[in-house]
Amino acid sequence: MKKIGIFYGSSTGSTSDLAQKIAKELNAEANVFDIANCSASDLLAYDVLLLGSSTWGMGDLQSDWETLLPELGKQNLSGKSVGLFGCGDSACYSDTFCNALALIKEGLEGSGCTFIGSYAPKNYNYDESASEQDGELIGLCIDESNESDMTDERIDTWIKAMQPAL
């Protein structure tokens, strides 16, 4: 069985709550960590990395990622599968919805990891997102402020999209 680590950055608790929901859906087969208390080397112990961030301002990463992401991007992540998840506000920030996921992906592009968990953005209400690439969301995008009734279904869709790598 592959070792799954869920690592998140959260300022208000929404992404932390989402990380816990994901762990529950994976039937406790994953360990959950707040990246504020981690170094890049902590992530190397896992085969599958599920990385989460809320999106702030006009599409920025949650602040705890600003130090860890450059450090993590320098690591050799060959053989590791990386799934992305995060929270955003599709109503107030409809043109930068969940952009933080794209920033994490960009920061890890030269690390040798394989990204998993992309899926078609069905029943989403946003104008634009850097996290939609080639017609698919690159990871789990959640809007707890405006579309919390869709959260469980979206988690299920994302986990199914990652299933072959889990």
Concatenated DSSP letters for the chain? ---EEEEEE-SSSHHHHHHHHHHHHTTT-EEEEEGGG--HHHHTT-SEEEEEEEEETTTEEPTTHHHHHHHHHTS--TT-EEEEEEE--TTTTTTSTTHHHHHHHHHHTTS--EEE--B--TT---S--TTEETTEESSEEE-TTT-GGGHHHHHHHHHHHHGGG-
Q: Is the pTM here over 0.85, yes or no?
A: yes
Number of domains observed in the structure of the chain:
1
pLDDT tens-digit profile of 134-163? 999 999 999 999 999 999 999 999 999 999
Kindly report the average pLDDT of the chain as a whole number: 95
Domain that holds residue 14: 4-163
Can you give the pLDDT at residue 1? Answer: 73
pLDDT tens-digit profile of 25-72? 997 678 999 999 999 999 999 999 999 999 998 889 999 999 999 999
Domain of residue 73, CATH code: 3.40.50.360
Share of the chain above pLDDT 70, in %: 99
